[in-house]
Structure 1
Amino acid sequence: MARSRHSDALRAAQMYYLQDLTMDAIARELRTSRSTVSRLLSSARETGLVQVQIRSPFDTGPELESQIRNQYGVDVHVVPVLDTLNEAETLDRVAMQAARTIGPLVDSNAIIGVAWGATLSAVSRHLTRKMTHDSIVVQLNGAGNMQTTGITYASDIMRRFGSAYGARVEQFPVPAFFDHASTKTAMWNERSVQRILDLQARMSIAIFGVGSVDSDYPSHVYAGGYLDEHDLTMLAADDVVGDVATVFFRSDGSSDGITLNERSTGPSHEQLRQVRRRICVVSGASKINGLQGALAAGLATDLILDEASARRLVSFNGHS
């Protein structure tokens, strides 16, 4: 938004929300039309100048947030969603909230690590513009597999994040999994790859979803041709419940001895835990086993999830 329009939107919002002036009165004061005032107020909401909060006495969200915060030590946003919505509609609501939460956290000179997947794809479509300076969006893990390079899929997500924040985009043009751990070792010694790894090591924010083996709505890594039958058998033998950026873990958060991780291009859990702000976005109660594992591994500092998933997470912890 141009600076003058941004300023007008801010003035209109202050008069409307803080001074209780009518749109007609604001139009007179700004010497413009009522329809222009309406557009300015809409713009103020869309760009985050105005954030609307509704506190309902029937809302279970705050109580769930408090329980999850106490149990897992994460900042949490529970998104109220009607049980009548389907999985795709629920994801859209959660993605919208996630986009609004992420915006204020992104500052100039930030290095923002972004994973790919259905959840992050949805989040990227709801981002509102916030211009920053000298910021970088870096891809967390490769996206290629036996059928596709994955570049188009992953780059669309990265491009939307870059456009929203005026940031430079750095893709990671390697497969999601190498066929051999020795190939990964060799590639990690290449200077072109080390440049991306260096950016990842300096991330200030990491944003990711949780892949879950037994989700009703299959995670992209399990449904998109990234794993063959042998890989899936190995994951089952290793008691894997999910992944973050294609690095797998068990329900207790452990990841040692999981063979596939030696071939994965995502950041190790140790590396991810060093990032100051780690935003995990989850939609769908069937992902609860994967989410539980990710939280047990200490991979998230911030969690955004739908209400049904929050209820399941609280009761899951109570019975575990």
Structure 2
Amino acid sequence: MDTEREQDVLRAASMYYLQDLKMEVIARHLGTSRSTVSRLIKRARETGLVEITLRPASTRAPGLGRSLAAAFGIDAYVVPVPDHASHIERLEQVSMTAARLLSSWFDSDMVLGVAWGTTLASVSRYLAPKPTRGSAVVQLNGAANMRTSGIDYASDLISSFGTAFGAGVHHFSVPAFFDFSDTKAAMWRERSVRRVLDMQRRADIALFSVGAVAGAVPSHVYSAGYLDEADVRVLHDEGVVGDVCTVFLRADGSWQDVPLNARATGPTPTELQRLPRRVCVVAGDNKVAPLLAALRAGVVTDLVVDEVTAGLLADSAEQATPRRTRAPRT
């Protein structure tokens, strides 16, 4: 099966099984006939791209997806999982779905921005090779910290995406957080740094998760030496619930006046909003608060989330979130 045909099969299967769209709608989106869509979906099952598992309990995934899409003006891909699924099982299912979706979206002559973290490392393990031409993968935030350089961790993660797509890789060799905002301002004037920043701004897709301050499984930025005790106290005093690309967010989605953000090296929500597709991948109960903050900050266009987390998010959103809309993609 040639590459173009593979992409049609993946797109049709994703829309049919993950977005719960009717074949007529998929046909209009792909510019083809309903019978062709039917054949594409059949092909997805025959090749193993889609595996169907029957579970006794009914799934809320399609309904949750529609509810989150309506509440936040996003495309939501809710991955069915049993209520008793472990955190690892939920993360694996979400990672597999995110990897497949990313392969359907990313193609030749495109730029993919990737933030490092535990969730994205999991996604990288499920990437199927898809050779592209003229494409690039760029690291979105620095990785060096107080205990280690952090470079090996981030480099291996970013490189795995480049290898999967046959893309050029652009590393961001700066700390996750500078000690002084003046140092960051000076570094941002360096040509080598500006080259990476320019590549980030050109990204067609940004791929990231959310970091959680609290929970049984702390996010990488909070457990691997990136923050000292004084930093943690500041986050607590500021009401921070988590981060996106190491930029900290309060529960209401505000971030501009959080002091540590002046020293952070990841793109701000304002900078992320300039990118056409921003894919957030999430699994875990402790991610609900930071995910809701990210949605309120308007940084997400596409959400890949497990069913249990989606249910908790929907319950939280009912209490307060105004509907956000986004400009159509061009």
TM over 0.5: yes
| Distance in 1, Cα, partners of 2:59 & 2:221 | 35
The 2-side partners of 1:54 and 1:104 are apart by 22
Aligned to 1:274: 274
Q: Kindly indicate whether the alpha-carbon contact (under 8 Å) linking 1:211 and 1:244 is maintained by their aligned counterparts in 2.
A: yes
Asked if the contact 1:147/1:225 (under 8 Å) is kept, the reply is: yes
| C-alpha contact (below 8 Å) 1:87/1:217 kept by paired residues | no
What are the superposed Cα offsets for residues 282-301 of structure 1, whole Å, 9 maximum, x if unpaired? 00022100000000000110
Q: 1:206–1:275: 8 Å Cα contact kept in structure 2?
A: yes
Partner of 1:145: 145
Query: Quick one: distance in 2 between partners of 1:58 and 1:282?
Result: 22
For the residue of structure 2 that corresponds to 1:319, the secondary structure is coil
Post-superposition offset of 1:52: 5.0
**SS of corresponding position for 2:159:** helix
Equivalent residue number for residue 196 of structure 1: 196
Distance in 1 (CA, whole Å) between partners of 2:59 and 2:266 is 38
Identity %: 46
| Cα 1:82/1:159, change in 2 over 3 Å | same
State the aligned residue count. 288
The superposition leaves residues 50-104 of structure 1 with CA deviations (integer Å, 9 ceiling, x where unpaired) of 4456798932111000100000111011111123222122111111111011110
| Aligned alpha-carbon RMSD (Å) | 2.7
Normalised to the residue count of structure 1, the TM-score between the two structures is 0.84
Q: How does 1:141-220 map to 2 (within 5 A)?
A: 141-220=141-220
Pairwise CA distance, 1:222:
0.4
Runs of 4+, deviation exceeding 3 Å: 40-45, 50-57
Distance (whole Å) between structure 2 residues aligned to residue 41 and residue 65 of structure 1: 22
Structure 2 partner of 1:122? 122
Per-residue deviation, residues 288-317 of structure 1 (Å, max 9, x unmatched): 000000000001100001111110011101
Aligned to 1:28: none
The one-letter amino acid of 2:67's match is Q
**TM-score, scaled to structure 2:** 0.82
C-alpha deviation, 1:143, in angstroms: 0.5
Q: Residues 213-233 of structure 1, C-alpha deviation per residue, up to 9 Å, x if partnerless?
A: 113211000011100110011
Q: Structure 1 residues 99, 185: closer, same or farther in 2, change over 3 A? A: same
When residues 53 and 77 of structure 1 are mapped into structure 2, their CA distance, relative to the original with a 3 A threshold, is farther
What code does the residue aligned with 2:128 have? T
Change beyond 3 A, Cα 1:2–1:71: closer
Q: How does 1:252-267 map to 2 (within 5 A)?
A: 252-267=252-267
Indicate conservation of the 8 Å contact 2:285/2:309, yes or no.
yes
